[in-house]
Amino acid sequence: MNRSTKDELQATITDMVVPCKGILAADESSPTIAKRFAAIGATSTVELQRAYRSLLFTTSGIEKFISGAILFEDTLGQIAEDGTPLPEVLARKGIVPGVKVDKGKIPLANASGDEITQGLDGLAERLRIYKAQGARFAKWREVYSISEQNPTILGIEANAEMLARYAAVCQEEGFVPIVEPEVLIDGNHTLERCLEVSEAVIHAVFQALHRHRVIMEYIVLKPSMVLPGKEHPVKASLEQVAAATITVLRRTVPAAVPSINFLSGGQSPEEATANLNAINILFPNAPWALSFSYARALQQPALQAWAGKSENGSAAQQMLYHRAQLNGWASCGKYNSELEK
């Protein structure tokens, strides 16, 4: 890798990894955003999707708490109400535009219950197009479900290999890769079982990243927090979630990684914020920034306030600003539940 590419990657990391700021994930695929719109009684169209994302990105002051935004591929070519390309809207606020580059998951052959993500074919060429549209970082998600037999060793190793190959291509093209190994919250597994799986998954991911000579200083890790399954009868406390999550990270993540931006993974907005805060309180001197890269946990209150109606735009933006502010505070360990009122 030449010096100019390294300088490009460092400049992006510097702009993305900012104290008390996180990343807005607005990269829902068309089928996913259609489900979100259906839940608020809105019909998903290309125009309504554009209007909604424009609403999010033009929220006044959001750049105080958001340093980067992940866009869906189609969003890179869309414009705000005043005709400004949406990536430029973000860049003018000092928010780094990024793009989701994976092509979704399929069953992994010979690994019953495990899945694998597609999208490596033509990735370098696509990244060059995305760069011309203003994107500076990328995101790729691999998914791991927990059961008695899953994830299998094959599933863990195959998914780690995909993440590493993606990350290596990104860095060659001057893109900071967000590496997202999502251990799903679905099921009735215990906190201890999630810790065991999460440790195995993230350990394998970093082994693969090293094999592919990915430079640790120029990636962002987007993991799940360590949580019991949604159907488990015993709910973990904030302190238990924080302790289990920090245990996994200390055992697996090199200190050279600049930032760990958690996904919310099906938690409520309030839970995701409170757990992030507890993690920062427990480990205030962590070698990495401990921040957020939330989709639903940032957007859901705004989406409900908006309800697909332009006249609700201001109310929706106020809700997004509020949740971004709360999570900005949580990424510094300065949140408390009284701020929700």
Which residue among the candidates 93, 100, 139, 222 is catalytic per the annotation? 222
Whether 222 is catalytic is yes
Residue with tokens 């019991």: 228
Q: For residue 323, give the nearest of 198, 304, 307 by alpha carbon.
A: 304
Before 284, cis peptide (omega within 30)?
Answer: no
**Spatial separation of the C-alpha atoms in residues 24 and 282, rounded to whole Å:** 24
Cβ-Cβ contacts under 8 Å for 115 (sequence gap 6 or more): 105, 106, 107, 108, 143, 145, 155
**Spatial separation of the C-alpha atoms in residues 70 and 16, rounded to whole Å:** 11
Burial-class residue 311 by CB neighbours within 10 Å (0-12, 13-18, 19+).
exposed
For residues 313 and 320, is the Cβ–Cβ distance under 8 A?
no
**Residue 143 CA, distance from chain mean position:** 13
Burial profile 129-159: b = 16 or more Cβ within 10 angstroms, e = fewer: ebbebbbbbbbbbbbbbbbeebbbeebbbbb
Q: Interhelix angle for 313-330 vs 296-306, to 10°?
A: 160
Annotated catalytic residues are 222
